Amino acid sequence: MFGIIGAAVALGVVITQLIKRNEMCSFFRTEIQIVTKPKYIKASLYGGIIFGLGLALTGACPGPIYVLISAGYLSLIVVFVFALLGTYCYRLLNPRLTH
């Protein structure tokens, strides 16, 4: 699985660099604009740690939670409820976030 993710990241980096250096156009012949975003190192680290801990503690990515609940792992209902709560909190805090 890590090989697939690693290959996707590597391919994304290579293709993005090709687009930037060769000034490629989209399928519809419009210019592709890649905007450089400011780096929020501290926020990214905190968010990544929280997200990673959540994945490690539950043992599941957000998508398979539905499948695991339907397969009879009813303890993941708690995970599902807190995933919904986290999404709702993000919606409330979104206007104040720096991204």
- Give 40-61 pLDDT, tens digit per residue: 888 889 988 988 888 888 877 7
This prediction's pTM: 0.54
Q: What is the dihedral of CA 88, 90, 94, 97, to 10 degrees?
A: 160
Residue 90 has pLDDT above 90, yes or no: no
- Give 1-47 pLDDT, tens digit per residue: 568 888 999 999 999 999 888 888 888 888 888 888 888 888 889 98
DSSP letter, residue 31:
B
